[in-house]
Amino acid sequence: MSNFGYHTILSFFWLVISYYSGFYEIYRYSKGIEIFGKLIKQFFFISLITYAYVGYKYKYVTTGEVGFYILLSFISVGLLKFSIFILLKKYRLLYGGNHRNVIIVGNGKSVEELKNFFTSNPDYGYNLVRVFDLKSNKKVELMECNNYVIEHKIDEIYASINTLTNKEIDNFVHFADNNLKTIKFLPDSKNTFLRNLAVEYYDYIPIISLRTIPLDKEVNKRLKRVFDFLFSLMIIIFLLSWLTPIIALLILIESKGPIFFKQKRNGLNYEEFYCYKFRSMHLNPIADLEQVQKNDPRITKIGKFIRKTSIDELPQFFNVLLGDMSVVGPRPHMVSHTEMYAKTVDKFMVRHFIKPGITGLAQTNGFRGEVETEKDIINRVKYDIFYLENWSILLDIKIIFTTVINAVRGEKKAY
């Protein structure tokens, strides 16, 4: 009876936790790291319940035995979940099953990107049947589109907001609702960075927020701070404690000046702080004005090495320990550049809703170092905003892991 009681309680709480963690909300476009995150979250709470129940009911059962049971369950459920996920991808890819017929309506950059996504990822199971670009005769094409959806059993319609009027959007929604079709909209090119719209209710009045920021939640903020503190403390004790004297000696042998270079940068809420690095250049009056460029004569020989390997950034773990920065976040720019980009780059200031980081999603996707073209800074902002809207501790770990691999390999723009 006691085992029955445990399994009854466990089943109840499993379903409750699953509901709030979205454990079963896995879609064809879900990422592996997202599934792993749900798995971790689910078993964290299940572990608490199991330890509490066993500690209350079974005094003779050891902590190790309970831990082994939970670990075995975690591995078994994880293998099953990932096996189904991977097998479905293979099934779609090899046999064309479990697919959804889709069409795209409209034109523009977002339409081309979605078209490329569908054609480049057959394992997701989206079968792009046709694109109605609405370039010839818009009214006729829209009528043809509705008939085409019915005749060819289209499952999902993707429509570009930028191409349609409000009335045409309403007509599409009405058509989809009355014919049991799923309709999704591609945002206007001006709203490319708006990833997460949040709806809140003031009494019965719906209010839309342009984005949700996970780090606005106190629990997430504290979790990230604990992770940052422990990680930076570990780096300082086990790496910087012996590496700093060596780097300091090499810097002083080659050039006169301080070991550390400090520079004012903008952080959380646009507040200024001093960002620390190992000095990699000869002393010069324009260090706070001009970014380092390829073959920059200001860089010393040891500076070239520590910049290539990103060792020069390690003192920023003191910034993390002090709370000015995070291990992962948008890279802070020097104050003069921040002021310039704030005026010229759309949504640049959004990056300052969270703490800046030693490394970030933009840096692991090739947008680090010198800003050579406008595209560099636009893409950097794009990745930074995606990060702040989709933060998770697992995403941080993935970015750190990727950063270490890139540092060992040596990056093209690390100069």
Q: What does the DSSP assignment read for 100-161?
A: EEEEEE--SHHHHHHHHHHHH-GGG-EEEEEEE---S-HHHHHHHHHHHHHHTT--EEEEET
- To the nearest 5 percent, what fractions of the chain are helix, strand and coil? 55, 15, 30
Tell me what pLDDT residue 312 has.
92
Weakest-pLDDT range from 32-41, 52-61, 198-207: 198-207
pLDDT of residue 203: 52
For the segment 43-69, the average pLDDT, to the nearest whole number, is 80
Give the pLDDT of residue 275: 95
Check if the beta carbon of residue 330 is closer than 8 Å to that of residue 362. yes
User: What's residue 211's pLDDT?
Assistant: 66
Q: Distance between CA atoms of 299 and 281, rounded to whole angstroms?
A: 4
Per-residue pLDDT, 198: 63
pTM for this entry = 0.65
**What average pLDDT does the structure give for the chain?**
84
Predicted confidence band of residue 193 (pLDDT cuts 50, 70, 90): very low
Higher pLDDT, 415 or 114: 114
User: What is the mean pLDDT of the segment spanning 207-229?
Assistant: 81
H/E segment holding residue 3 = helix 2-21
CA angle 21, 25, 31 (to 5 degrees): 100
**Highest mean pLDDT, choosing among 3-12, 233-242, 287-296, 376-385:** 233-242
Specify the pairing of strand 205-209 against strand 198-202: antiparallel
Fold of 100-192: Rossmann fold (3.40.50)
CB 174 within 8 A of CB 157: no
Mean pLDDT for the stretch of residues 393-402? 92
Q: Give the residue with greater pLDDT, 76 vs 205.
A: 76
Q: What is the pLDDT of residue 230?
A: 95
Q: Report CA-CA distances (Å) from 297 to 292, 293, 301, 308.
A: 9, 9, 10, 15
pLDDT at 58 > cutoff 90 = no
- What is the sign of the dihedral through the CA atoms of 6, 9, 15 and 18? negative
pLDDT of residue 1: 40
Domain locations along the chain: 2-95, 100-192, 216-409
Percent of the chain exceeding pLDDT 70 equals 89
Q: Given this model, what pLDDT does residue 245 score?
A: 95
Q: Looking at the predicted structure, is the pLDDT value of residue 410 above 90?
A: no
DSSP 3-state of 281: strand
Average pLDDT score over residue span 65-78:
88
Residue 120 has pLDDT above 90, yes or no: no
* Mean pLDDT in residue range 149-176: 86
What pLDDT, on the 0 to 100 scale, is given for residue 414?
Answer: 60
